A and B are shown apart, each in its own frame.
Chain A
Amino acid sequence: MESHLDYHAHNNGFREVNTTFKVLFAVSTLIICVASPSPIIPLFVFILIPTLLIFKAKIPYKFYFKFISIPLLFALITFLYMGLFFGSTDIMVQLGSLGPLDLVIYRDGVQIGFLVFSRMLGAFSCLVFLAFTTPMTELFSIFHRVHIPPIIVELSMLMYRFIFLFLDEAEKMHQSQKTRLGYSDWKNSLRCLGMLGGNLFIRTWFQGEKLHMAMESRGYNGTLKAMNEIEFPGSKNIILLVSFELLLLAGIYLSLNFPVI
Protein backbone atom coordinates (compact mmCIF):
# COMPACT_ATOMS: atom_id res chain seq x y z
CA MET A 1 0.00 0.00 0.00
CA GLU A 2 2.78 2.41 0.93
CA SER A 3 4.63 1.85 -2.31
CA HIS A 4 1.44 2.67 -4.16
CA LEU A 5 1.16 5.87 -2.21
CA ASP A 6 4.72 6.70 -3.13
CA TYR A 7 3.87 6.05 -6.78
CA HIS A 8 0.92 8.45 -6.64
CA ALA A 9 2.95 11.06 -4.83
CA HIS A 10 5.33 11.06 -7.79
CA ASN A 11 2.69 10.78 -10.52
CA ASN A 12 -0.27 13.05 -10.01
CA GLY A 13 -1.79 16.15 -11.48
CA PHE A 14 -0.31 18.38 -8.78
CA ARG A 15 3.20 17.00 -9.07
CA GLU A 16 4.52 20.12 -10.77
CA VAL A 17 2.78 22.55 -8.43
CA ASN A 18 5.21 24.37 -6.16
CA THR A 19 6.01 22.30 -3.06
CA THR A 20 6.00 25.20 -0.62
CA PHE A 21 2.57 26.18 -1.93
CA LYS A 22 1.18 22.69 -1.38
CA VAL A 23 2.65 22.46 2.12
CA LEU A 24 1.37 25.91 3.07
CA PHE A 25 -2.08 25.04 1.70
CA ALA A 26 -2.26 21.75 3.59
CA VAL A 27 -0.89 23.09 6.87
CA SER A 28 -2.95 26.29 7.02
CA THR A 29 -6.16 24.48 6.08
CA LEU A 30 -5.30 21.86 8.69
CA ILE A 31 -4.89 24.48 11.41
CA ILE A 32 -8.16 26.15 10.46
CA CYS A 33 -9.96 22.80 10.59
CA VAL A 34 -8.56 21.91 14.01
CA ALA A 35 -9.32 25.33 15.48
CA SER A 36 -12.78 25.60 13.91
CA PRO A 37 -15.53 25.95 16.52
CA SER A 38 -18.19 24.79 14.08
CA PRO A 39 -18.36 21.52 12.13
CA ILE A 40 -19.39 23.09 8.80
CA ILE A 41 -15.99 24.20 7.48
CA PRO A 42 -14.11 20.99 8.37
CA LEU A 43 -16.85 19.00 6.62
CA PHE A 44 -16.52 21.32 3.63
CA VAL A 45 -12.77 20.62 3.54
CA PHE A 46 -13.51 16.91 3.83
CA ILE A 47 -15.55 17.17 0.61
CA LEU A 48 -13.33 19.68 -1.19
CA ILE A 49 -10.06 17.76 -0.87
CA PRO A 50 -11.19 14.45 -2.39
CA THR A 51 -12.78 16.48 -5.20
CA LEU A 52 -9.45 18.15 -5.87
CA LEU A 53 -7.53 14.90 -5.56
CA ILE A 54 -9.79 12.78 -7.71
CA PHE A 55 -10.73 15.27 -10.44
CA LYS A 56 -7.67 17.52 -10.58
CA ALA A 57 -4.80 15.36 -9.37
CA LYS A 58 -6.26 12.24 -11.06
CA ILE A 59 -5.85 9.96 -8.06
CA PRO A 60 -7.94 6.80 -8.66
CA TYR A 61 -11.01 7.17 -6.47
CA LYS A 62 -10.87 3.52 -5.37
CA PHE A 63 -7.40 4.00 -4.02
CA TYR A 64 -8.39 7.19 -2.25
CA PHE A 65 -11.37 5.63 -0.48
CA LYS A 66 -9.39 2.55 0.47
CA PHE A 67 -6.73 4.79 1.93
CA ILE A 68 -9.10 6.84 4.04
CA SER A 69 -11.29 3.91 5.14
CA ILE A 70 -9.21 3.14 8.25
CA PRO A 71 -9.00 6.69 9.64
CA LEU A 72 -12.64 7.17 8.69
CA LEU A 73 -13.66 4.12 10.68
CA PHE A 74 -11.61 5.31 13.61
CA ALA A 75 -13.21 8.75 13.48
CA LEU A 76 -16.64 7.14 13.40
CA ILE A 77 -15.87 5.01 16.46
CA THR A 78 -14.67 8.12 18.28
CA PHE A 79 -17.89 9.91 17.38
CA LEU A 80 -20.03 7.06 18.71
CA TYR A 81 -17.90 6.82 21.81
CA MET A 82 -18.09 10.52 22.60
CA GLY A 83 -21.79 10.54 21.88
CA LEU A 84 -22.38 7.61 24.22
CA PHE A 85 -20.19 8.45 27.15
CA PHE A 86 -19.83 12.19 27.22
CA GLY A 87 -22.12 14.99 28.21
CA SER A 88 -24.00 15.83 31.30
CA THR A 89 -27.19 17.64 30.46
CA ASP A 90 -30.24 17.14 28.30
CA ILE A 91 -30.64 13.37 27.93
CA MET A 92 -31.59 12.28 24.40
CA VAL A 93 -31.84 8.49 24.76
CA GLN A 94 -31.42 6.13 27.71
CA LEU A 95 -29.95 2.80 26.56
CA GLY A 96 -29.28 0.86 29.79
CA SER A 97 -25.87 0.13 31.21
CA LEU A 98 -22.66 -1.74 30.42
CA GLY A 99 -20.83 -2.80 33.57
CA PRO A 100 -20.00 0.29 35.57
CA LEU A 101 -20.85 2.61 32.68
CA ASP A 102 -24.28 4.08 32.07
CA LEU A 103 -25.21 4.11 28.43
CA VAL A 104 -26.92 7.44 28.07
CA ILE A 105 -26.83 9.68 25.04
CA TYR A 106 -26.65 13.33 25.98
CA ARG A 107 -27.30 16.15 23.57
CA ASP A 108 -24.09 17.99 24.44
CA GLY A 109 -22.11 14.75 24.15
CA VAL A 110 -23.40 14.23 20.62
CA GLN A 111 -22.68 17.84 19.77
CA ILE A 112 -19.08 17.76 20.93
CA GLY A 113 -18.64 14.31 19.41
CA PHE A 114 -19.87 15.58 16.06
CA LEU A 115 -17.60 18.62 16.23
CA VAL A 116 -14.55 16.47 16.96
CA PHE A 117 -15.63 14.01 14.26
CA SER A 118 -15.84 16.76 11.65
CA ARG A 119 -12.51 18.24 12.74
CA MET A 120 -10.87 14.85 12.37
CA LEU A 121 -12.32 14.36 8.89
CA GLY A 122 -11.22 17.81 7.75
CA ALA A 123 -7.79 17.54 9.33
CA PHE A 124 -6.87 14.12 8.01
CA SER A 125 -8.08 15.13 4.55
CA CYS A 126 -5.40 17.83 4.61
CA LEU A 127 -2.78 15.25 5.59
CA VAL A 128 -3.97 12.92 2.86
CA PHE A 129 -3.73 15.79 0.37
CA LEU A 130 -0.10 16.26 1.28
CA ALA A 131 0.60 12.52 1.21
CA PHE A 132 -0.93 12.08 -2.24
CA THR A 133 0.52 15.11 -3.99
CA THR A 134 3.98 15.63 -2.54
CA PRO A 135 6.80 13.08 -2.58
CA MET A 136 8.51 12.64 0.77
CA THR A 137 11.85 13.64 -0.76
CA GLU A 138 10.48 17.10 -1.46
CA LEU A 139 9.15 17.37 2.05
CA PHE A 140 12.68 16.75 3.29
CA SER A 141 13.85 19.93 1.62
CA ILE A 142 11.01 21.73 3.41
CA PHE A 143 12.23 20.23 6.70
CA HIS A 144 15.64 21.59 5.83
CA ARG A 145 14.17 24.98 5.05
CA VAL A 146 12.39 25.29 8.41
CA HIS A 147 15.70 24.63 10.18
CA ILE A 148 15.13 21.19 11.50
CA PRO A 149 18.63 20.04 12.54
CA PRO A 150 20.50 18.53 9.56
CA ILE A 151 21.23 15.36 11.49
CA ILE A 152 17.48 14.74 11.85
CA VAL A 153 16.77 15.45 8.19
CA GLU A 154 19.56 13.08 7.23
CA LEU A 155 18.36 10.34 9.56
CA SER A 156 14.84 10.76 8.18
CA MET A 157 16.08 10.49 4.60
CA LEU A 158 18.01 7.32 5.33
CA MET A 159 15.08 5.89 7.30
CA TYR A 160 12.68 6.65 4.51
CA ARG A 161 14.96 4.87 2.05
CA PHE A 162 14.98 1.75 4.21
CA ILE A 163 11.38 1.59 5.28
CA PHE A 164 10.22 0.27 1.92
CA LEU A 165 13.06 -2.23 1.65
CA PHE A 166 12.34 -3.61 5.09
CA LEU A 167 8.60 -3.75 4.54
CA ASP A 168 9.34 -5.85 1.47
CA GLU A 169 11.67 -8.06 3.42
CA ALA A 170 9.18 -8.48 6.28
CA GLU A 171 6.49 -9.39 3.76
CA LYS A 172 8.72 -12.03 2.18
CA MET A 173 9.61 -13.55 5.54
CA HIS A 174 5.95 -13.54 6.51
CA GLN A 175 5.03 -15.40 3.31
CA SER A 176 7.71 -18.02 3.73
CA GLN A 177 6.76 -18.56 7.35
CA LYS A 178 3.17 -19.06 6.30
CA THR A 179 4.08 -21.62 3.66
CA ARG A 180 5.92 -23.51 6.40
CA LEU A 181 2.85 -23.74 8.64
CA GLY A 182 3.60 -20.57 10.58
CA TYR A 183 0.88 -18.54 12.28
CA SER A 184 -1.29 -21.64 12.78
CA ASP A 185 -2.46 -20.72 16.26
CA TRP A 186 -1.97 -17.90 18.72
CA LYS A 187 1.14 -19.24 20.43
CA ASN A 188 2.71 -20.15 17.12
CA SER A 189 1.88 -16.72 15.69
CA LEU A 190 3.65 -15.04 18.56
CA ARG A 191 6.73 -17.21 18.09
CA CYS A 192 6.74 -16.62 14.31
CA LEU A 193 6.31 -12.89 14.69
CA GLY A 194 9.08 -12.82 17.27
CA MET A 195 11.41 -14.66 14.90
CA LEU A 196 10.43 -12.33 12.10
CA GLY A 197 11.13 -9.28 14.22
CA GLY A 198 14.43 -10.62 15.50
CA ASN A 199 15.59 -11.68 12.08
CA LEU A 200 14.51 -8.36 10.63
CA PHE A 201 16.58 -6.55 13.22
CA ILE A 202 19.67 -8.62 12.42
CA ARG A 203 19.22 -8.05 8.72
CA THR A 204 18.63 -4.34 9.15
CA TRP A 205 21.84 -4.18 11.13
CA PHE A 206 23.72 -5.83 8.27
CA GLN A 207 22.17 -3.36 5.87
CA GLY A 208 23.28 -0.49 8.04
CA GLU A 209 26.85 -1.74 8.06
CA LYS A 210 26.80 -2.24 4.30
CA LEU A 211 25.32 1.19 3.79
CA HIS A 212 28.06 2.75 5.83
CA MET A 213 30.72 0.98 3.78
CA ALA A 214 29.03 2.00 0.53
CA MET A 215 28.77 5.60 1.65
CA GLU A 216 32.31 5.73 2.93
CA SER A 217 33.71 4.32 -0.29
CA ARG A 218 31.97 7.16 -2.11
CA GLY A 219 33.55 9.86 0.01
CA TYR A 220 31.04 10.20 2.83
CA ASN A 221 32.44 12.48 5.50
CA GLY A 222 29.54 12.84 7.89
CA THR A 223 27.07 14.87 5.86
CA LEU A 224 24.83 14.00 2.96
CA LYS A 225 24.77 16.65 0.30
CA ALA A 226 21.58 17.06 -1.65
CA MET A 227 20.05 19.68 -3.88
CA ASN A 228 17.71 21.55 -1.63
CA GLU A 229 16.46 24.28 -3.88
CA ILE A 230 13.00 25.47 -3.08
CA GLU A 231 11.34 28.00 -5.26
CA PHE A 232 9.16 30.76 -3.96
CA PRO A 233 5.53 29.86 -4.67
CA GLY A 234 4.94 33.03 -6.70
CA SER A 235 2.72 35.96 -5.77
CA LYS A 236 -0.27 34.65 -7.74
CA ASN A 237 -0.33 31.44 -5.71
CA ILE A 238 0.14 33.33 -2.46
CA ILE A 239 -2.84 35.57 -3.21
CA LEU A 240 -4.89 32.51 -4.13
CA LEU A 241 -3.88 30.78 -0.90
CA VAL A 242 -4.56 33.75 1.36
CA SER A 243 -7.95 34.43 -0.19
CA PHE A 244 -8.93 30.76 0.11
CA GLU A 245 -8.00 30.64 3.79
CA LEU A 246 -9.79 33.94 4.41
CA LEU A 247 -12.87 32.45 2.78
CA LEU A 248 -12.67 29.49 5.12
CA LEU A 249 -12.38 31.83 8.11
CA ALA A 250 -15.37 33.82 6.88
CA GLY A 251 -17.23 30.53 6.53
CA ILE A 252 -16.43 29.67 10.13
CA TYR A 253 -17.66 33.07 11.28
CA LEU A 254 -20.92 32.71 9.36
CA SER A 255 -21.58 29.14 10.46
CA LEU A 256 -20.77 29.85 14.11
CA ASN A 257 -24.33 29.58 15.37
CA PHE A 258 -25.54 27.20 12.74
CA PRO A 259 -27.43 24.41 14.51
CA VAL A 260 -26.24 20.97 13.37
CA ILE A 261 -27.79 18.61 15.87
Chain B
Amino acid sequence: MHIMEGFLPWQWCLFWYLVAIPVVVYGVIQIKKITDKNPESKPLLAVSGAFMFVLSSLKLPSVTGSCSHPTGNGLGAILFGPAVVSVLATITLVFQALLLAHGGITTLGANIFSMGIVGPFCAWLIYKGCKNMGISISIAVFLAATFGDLLTYVTTAIQLSLAFPIPTFSESLIKFMIIFAYTQLPLALAEGLLTVVIFDYIKKLRPDILTQLGVMLKTKAPDVVGGK
Protein backbone atom coordinates (compact mmCIF):
# COMPACT_ATOMS: atom_id res chain seq x y z
CA MET B 1 0.00 0.00 0.00
CA HIS B 2 1.95 2.94 -1.26
CA ILE B 3 1.18 6.45 -0.15
CA MET B 4 0.93 8.39 -3.36
CA GLU B 5 3.04 11.34 -4.40
CA GLY B 6 1.56 14.59 -3.11
CA PHE B 7 -0.69 12.97 -0.54
CA LEU B 8 1.22 13.96 2.58
CA PRO B 9 1.74 17.58 3.66
CA TRP B 10 5.40 18.56 3.47
CA GLN B 11 5.92 18.56 7.26
CA TRP B 12 5.01 14.88 7.41
CA CYS B 13 7.16 14.07 4.36
CA LEU B 14 10.12 15.53 6.19
CA PHE B 15 9.25 13.80 9.44
CA TRP B 16 9.05 10.33 7.89
CA TYR B 17 12.28 10.91 6.00
CA LEU B 18 13.99 11.72 9.28
CA VAL B 19 12.56 8.58 10.88
CA ALA B 20 13.44 6.29 7.98
CA ILE B 21 16.96 7.50 7.21
CA PRO B 22 18.78 6.17 10.32
CA VAL B 23 17.41 2.66 9.74
CA VAL B 24 18.34 2.69 6.06
CA VAL B 25 21.81 3.97 6.94
CA TYR B 26 22.15 1.08 9.39
CA GLY B 27 21.09 -1.28 6.60
CA VAL B 28 23.65 0.25 4.25
CA ILE B 29 26.39 -0.30 6.82
CA GLN B 30 25.30 -3.94 7.18
CA ILE B 31 25.31 -4.44 3.41
CA LYS B 32 28.74 -2.85 3.18
CA LYS B 33 30.04 -5.26 5.81
CA ILE B 34 28.56 -8.24 3.98
CA THR B 35 29.89 -7.23 0.57
CA ASP B 36 33.30 -6.32 1.94
CA LYS B 37 33.62 -9.75 3.48
CA ASN B 38 32.48 -11.67 0.40
CA PRO B 39 32.37 -9.64 -2.80
CA GLU B 40 30.33 -12.29 -4.62
CA SER B 41 27.36 -11.36 -2.46
CA LYS B 42 26.95 -8.02 -4.25
CA PRO B 43 25.52 -9.36 -7.52
CA LEU B 44 23.43 -11.78 -5.49
CA LEU B 45 21.97 -8.96 -3.41
CA ALA B 46 21.26 -7.05 -6.60
CA VAL B 47 19.37 -9.90 -8.23
CA SER B 48 17.50 -10.43 -4.97
CA GLY B 49 16.43 -6.80 -5.05
CA ALA B 50 15.32 -7.16 -8.65
CA PHE B 51 13.44 -10.29 -7.63
CA MET B 52 11.59 -8.32 -4.95
CA PHE B 53 10.66 -5.67 -7.50
CA VAL B 54 9.35 -8.24 -9.98
CA LEU B 55 7.48 -10.10 -7.23
CA SER B 56 5.77 -6.88 -6.24
CA SER B 57 4.68 -6.33 -9.83
CA LEU B 58 2.92 -9.71 -10.08
CA LYS B 59 -0.82 -9.74 -9.74
CA LEU B 60 -2.04 -11.46 -6.61
CA PRO B 61 -5.26 -13.48 -6.83
CA SER B 62 -7.39 -11.93 -4.13
CA VAL B 63 -10.47 -13.32 -2.46
CA THR B 64 -12.51 -10.17 -2.92
CA GLY B 65 -11.96 -10.24 -6.65
CA SER B 66 -10.01 -7.05 -6.82
CA CYS B 67 -6.50 -7.72 -8.04
CA SER B 68 -3.56 -6.39 -6.20
CA HIS B 69 0.10 -7.19 -5.88
CA PRO B 70 2.16 -8.80 -3.12
CA THR B 71 4.73 -6.69 -1.31
CA GLY B 72 7.37 -9.41 -1.12
CA ASN B 73 8.68 -7.86 2.07
CA GLY B 74 7.82 -10.83 4.28
CA LEU B 75 9.71 -13.23 2.05
CA GLY B 76 12.61 -10.79 1.77
CA ALA B 77 12.83 -10.37 5.53
CA ILE B 78 12.83 -14.13 6.10
CA LEU B 79 15.48 -14.73 3.44
CA PHE B 80 17.80 -11.77 3.91
CA GLY B 81 17.02 -10.30 7.33
CA PRO B 82 15.32 -6.96 7.97
CA ALA B 83 18.33 -4.64 7.76
CA VAL B 84 19.25 -5.73 4.24
CA VAL B 85 15.61 -5.69 3.14
CA SER B 86 15.17 -2.11 4.32
CA VAL B 87 17.84 -1.05 1.80
CA LEU B 88 16.56 -3.26 -1.03
CA ALA B 89 13.01 -2.03 -0.37
CA THR B 90 14.23 1.56 -0.50
CA ILE B 91 15.78 1.04 -3.93
CA THR B 92 12.67 -0.81 -5.07
CA LEU B 93 10.46 2.05 -3.90
CA VAL B 94 12.59 4.58 -5.80
CA PHE B 95 12.23 2.49 -8.96
CA GLN B 96 8.50 2.10 -8.46
CA ALA B 97 8.17 5.85 -8.08
CA LEU B 98 10.32 6.69 -11.09
CA LEU B 99 9.24 3.89 -13.43
CA LEU B 100 5.60 3.30 -12.56
CA ALA B 101 4.54 6.54 -10.83
CA HIS B 102 3.67 4.20 -7.97
CA GLY B 103 4.42 5.83 -4.62
CA GLY B 104 6.51 8.95 -4.82
CA ILE B 105 9.63 10.90 -3.99
CA THR B 106 8.13 13.18 -1.35
CA THR B 107 6.30 10.28 0.29
CA LEU B 108 9.34 8.01 -0.02
CA GLY B 109 10.27 8.38 3.65
CA ALA B 110 6.81 7.39 4.82
CA ASN B 111 6.68 4.45 2.40
CA ILE B 112 10.12 3.25 3.45
CA PHE B 113 9.02 3.40 7.07
CA SER B 114 5.86 1.35 6.56
CA MET B 115 6.93 -1.06 3.79
CA GLY B 116 10.68 -1.26 4.23
CA ILE B 117 11.04 -1.04 7.98
CA VAL B 118 7.94 -1.89 10.02
CA GLY B 119 6.70 -4.69 7.75
CA PRO B 120 9.99 -6.57 7.36
CA PHE B 121 11.04 -6.10 10.99
CA CYS B 122 7.73 -7.46 12.27
CA ALA B 123 7.81 -10.34 9.80
CA TRP B 124 11.32 -11.21 10.85
CA LEU B 125 10.52 -11.02 14.57
CA ILE B 126 7.45 -13.21 14.15
CA TYR B 127 9.40 -15.71 12.09
CA LYS B 128 12.17 -15.90 14.67
CA GLY B 129 9.69 -16.11 17.54
CA CYS B 130 7.77 -18.93 15.90
CA LYS B 131 10.94 -20.83 15.16
CA ASN B 132 12.11 -20.47 18.73
CA MET B 133 8.78 -21.78 19.97
CA GLY B 134 9.19 -24.78 17.71
CA ILE B 135 6.23 -24.02 15.45
CA SER B 136 6.45 -25.65 12.00
CA ILE B 137 8.29 -23.62 9.40
CA SER B 138 5.32 -23.29 7.03
CA ILE B 139 3.13 -21.78 9.74
CA ALA B 140 5.98 -19.51 10.82
CA VAL B 141 6.39 -18.26 7.24
CA PHE B 142 2.65 -17.79 6.85
CA LEU B 143 2.29 -15.83 10.09
CA ALA B 144 5.36 -13.74 9.35
CA ALA B 145 4.24 -12.75 5.85
CA THR B 146 0.61 -12.12 6.83
CA PHE B 147 1.35 -10.05 9.90
CA GLY B 148 4.23 -8.28 8.20
CA ASP B 149 1.69 -7.17 5.59
CA LEU B 150 -1.01 -6.28 8.09
CA LEU B 151 1.34 -4.21 10.20
CA THR B 152 2.47 -2.40 7.07
CA TYR B 153 -1.15 -1.41 6.46
CA VAL B 154 -1.69 -0.42 10.08
CA THR B 155 1.40 1.77 9.87
CA THR B 156 0.12 3.36 6.67
CA ALA B 157 -3.25 4.00 8.32
CA ILE B 158 -1.50 5.66 11.26
CA GLN B 159 0.63 7.75 8.92
CA LEU B 160 -2.41 8.90 6.97
CA SER B 161 -4.46 9.75 10.02
CA LEU B 162 -1.54 11.61 11.59
CA ALA B 163 -1.34 13.69 8.43
CA PHE B 164 -5.11 14.24 8.27
CA PRO B 165 -6.44 14.20 11.85
CA ILE B 166 -9.94 15.29 10.85
CA PRO B 167 -11.80 15.75 13.13
CA THR B 168 -9.41 13.97 15.54
CA PHE B 169 -6.54 11.52 15.13
CA SER B 170 -8.39 8.54 16.59
CA GLU B 171 -11.59 9.06 14.60
CA SER B 172 -9.60 9.41 11.43
CA LEU B 173 -7.57 6.31 12.28
CA ILE B 174 -10.72 4.26 12.83
CA LYS B 175 -12.03 5.32 9.42
CA PHE B 176 -8.80 4.39 7.66
CA MET B 177 -8.64 1.09 9.53
CA ILE B 178 -12.18 0.14 8.54
CA ILE B 179 -11.45 0.83 4.89
CA PHE B 180 -8.21 -1.12 5.07
CA ALA B 181 -9.81 -4.02 6.92
CA TYR B 182 -12.22 -4.49 4.01
CA THR B 183 -9.65 -4.20 1.26
CA GLN B 184 -6.30 -5.27 2.71
CA LEU B 185 -7.08 -8.14 5.08
CA PRO B 186 -7.80 -10.59 2.24
CA LEU B 187 -4.66 -9.41 0.49
CA ALA B 188 -2.52 -10.02 3.56
CA LEU B 189 -3.91 -13.55 3.90
CA ALA B 190 -3.34 -14.23 0.20
CA GLU B 191 0.22 -12.96 0.44
CA GLY B 192 0.81 -15.15 3.50
CA LEU B 193 -0.32 -18.24 1.59
CA LEU B 194 1.67 -17.24 -1.48
CA THR B 195 4.83 -16.77 0.56
CA VAL B 196 4.43 -20.25 2.04
CA VAL B 197 4.11 -21.77 -1.44
CA ILE B 198 7.17 -19.88 -2.71
CA PHE B 199 9.22 -20.72 0.35
CA ASP B 200 8.32 -24.42 0.25
CA TYR B 201 9.11 -24.54 -3.44
CA ILE B 202 12.58 -23.08 -2.94
CA LYS B 203 13.19 -25.31 0.05
CA LYS B 204 12.19 -28.41 -1.86
CA LEU B 205 14.14 -27.65 -5.04
CA ARG B 206 17.23 -25.79 -3.95
CA PRO B 207 17.79 -26.03 -0.20
CA ASP B 208 21.46 -25.28 -0.89
CA ILE B 209 20.58 -21.69 -1.82
CA LEU B 210 19.01 -21.18 1.57
CA THR B 211 22.09 -22.62 3.29
CA GLN B 212 24.30 -20.36 1.20
CA LEU B 213 22.18 -17.36 2.21
CA GLY B 214 22.50 -18.24 5.87
CA VAL B 215 26.28 -18.48 5.48
CA MET B 216 26.54 -15.32 3.39
CA LEU B 217 24.59 -13.12 5.72
CA LYS B 218 25.90 -14.84 8.85
CA THR B 219 23.60 -14.17 11.79
CA LYS B 220 21.65 -11.54 9.87
CA ALA B 221 19.48 -14.16 8.22
CA PRO B 222 18.06 -16.93 10.37
CA ASP B 223 19.31 -20.42 9.63
CA VAL B 224 16.42 -21.57 7.46
CA VAL B 225 17.46 -25.11 6.71
CA GLY B 226 17.43 -27.84 9.27
CA GLY B 227 14.45 -26.33 11.06
CA LYS B 228 11.34 -28.35 11.56
A189 to B190, CA, bound (A): 11
Contact of A208 with B48 in the complex, beta carbons under 8 Å: yes
Contact of B50 with A162 in the complex, beta carbons under 8 Å: yes
Contact of B91 with A198 in the complex, beta carbons under 8 Å: no
Contact of A27 with B179 in the complex, beta carbons under 8 Å: no
**A114 → chain B, closest Cβ, in Å?**
13
Known pairs A34-B106, A170-B54; A154 contacts B42 (CB<8 A): yes
Stretch at the interface among A51-59, A81-89, A240-248: A81-89
Q: Any chain B CB within 8 A of the CB of A252? A: no
Contact of B47 with A101 in the complex, beta carbons under 8 Å: no
- A34, A81, A100, A196 — which one has the most chain B CB atoms within 10 A of its CB? A34
Contact of B194 with A194 in the complex, beta carbons under 8 Å: yes
A120 to B58, CA, bound (A): 25
A67 to B100, CA, bound (A): 8
Contact of B42 with A131 in the complex, beta carbons under 8 Å: no
Q: Which of B2-48 contact A (CB under 8 A)?
A: 4-10, 13, 28, 31-32, 35-36, 39-40, 42-48
Q: Which of A128, A155, A161 contacts B45 (CB 8 A)?
A: A155
Contact of B44 with A212 in the complex, beta carbons under 8 Å: yes
Mark interface residues in A62-79 (1 if CB within 8 Å of B CB, else 0).
000001101100110010
Known pairs A120-B4, A167-B54, A194-B201; A155 contacts B46 (CB<8 A): yes
Q: Summarize B's interface: helix, strand, loop or mixed.
A: helix
Q: Any chain A CB within 8 A of the CB of B193? A: yes
Contact of B61 with A159 in the complex, beta carbons under 8 Å: no
**Size band of the interface chain A makes with B:** 35 or more
A199 to B51, CA, bound (A): 11
Q: Which of A122, A163, A222 contacts B50 (CB 8 A)?
A: A163
Contact of A201 with B101 in the complex, beta carbons under 8 Å: no
Contact of B51 with A201 in the complex, beta carbons under 8 Å: yes
Q: Any chain B CB within 8 A of the CB of A99? A: yes
A35 to B45, CA, bound (A): 37
- A5, A154, A166, A193 — which one has the most chain B CB atoms within 10 A of its CB? A193
A190 to B70, CA, bound (A): 12
Q: Any chain B CB within 8 A of the CB of A230? A: no
Contact of B194 with A123 in the complex, beta carbons under 8 Å: no
**B20 → chain A, closest Cβ, in Å?**
14
Q: Which of A122, A127, A160, A215 contacts B97 (CB 8 A)?
A: A127
A220 to B205, CA, bound (A): 31
Q: Any chain B CB within 8 A of the CB of A96? A: no
Contact of B104 with A205 in the complex, beta carbons under 8 Å: no
Known pairs A151-B31, A194-B198, A199-B201; A222 contacts B166 (CB<8 A): no
Q: Given A70-B101, A207-B47, 4 other A-B contacts at CB below 8 A?
A: A5-B99, A101-B178, A198-B201, A200-B55
9 A-B residue contacts at CB 8 Å? A35-B10, A81-B179, A123-B5, A149-B28, A158-B43, A190-B193, A198-B205, A205-B47, A211-B43
Pick the 6 closest A-B CB pairs, nearest first. A194-B197, A198-B201, A123-B6, A158-B46, A162-B50, A208-B47
